[in-house]
Amino acid sequence: MGNNLITTAIYPGTFDPITHGHTDIVSRAAMVFDRLIVDIAASTGKKTVFSADERVTLAAEILSTYDNVEVRCFDGLIVNFAREIEATVILRGLRAVSDFEYEFQLAGMNRKLMPEADTVFMPTSEKFTYISSSLVREISSLGGDISDFVHPRIRDALAERLETR
């Protein structure tokens, strides 16, 4: 067909904080899509340890090596932001079968709201399937070592944040 269309994917999430599991998805997706926008949800109903601005700053720092990856923040529907940035793919990482039901529902609803976009699921690498941001936060708050799960910058930011609580 030979067209010059650029495929933009949006990778939405809470990212409180960004972990190696997320970075693994980003690094692989950056090779698949022309442009990848990591969409940090400002308010998701979850009580976050880091503010939206802090989550953006931390993620942007860690992902700065990827030329085609941008970190943005959005407060509202994923599909509205996807339209704004002209994304046609909503990217989600899958860790386990237990993720599937919720993700399938989310994908169906997003497709209903934005038929011109589609959800693409990427399997999380095996070594990161058991990671979640809340477990990482819990381990850190109880003095455990989270070096295997997050970037050193995140490890230090979490330790500092949880210490001052």
Residues lying near ligand COA in the complex (CB under 6 A): 12-14, 16, 19, 21-22, 25, 41, 44, 46, 77-78, 93, 95, 106, 109-110, 124, 128, 131-134
Look up 95 and say whether it is catalytic: yes
d(CA 66, CA 71): 11
**Helix, strand or coil for residue 123?**
strand
How far from each other are the two terminal CA atoms of the chain, in whole angstroms? 57
The amino acid at residue 112 is K
Look up 22 and say whether it is catalytic: yes
In whole angstroms, the minimum distance from the beta carbon of 105 to ligand COA comes to: 8
CB nearer to ligand COA: give 8 or 14: 14
> Per the residue annotation, which of 35, 92, 95, 151 is the catalytic one?
95
Look up 140 and say whether it is catalytic: no
> Per the residue annotation, which of 43, 46, 51, 134 is the catalytic one?
46
CB nearer to ligand COA: give 2 or 115: 115
C-alpha distances in Å from residue 111, one per residue of 11, 12, 19, 71: 15, 15, 27, 23
The answer to whether the CB of 47 falls within 8 A of the CB of 80 is: no
Catalytic residues: 22, 46, 95, 133
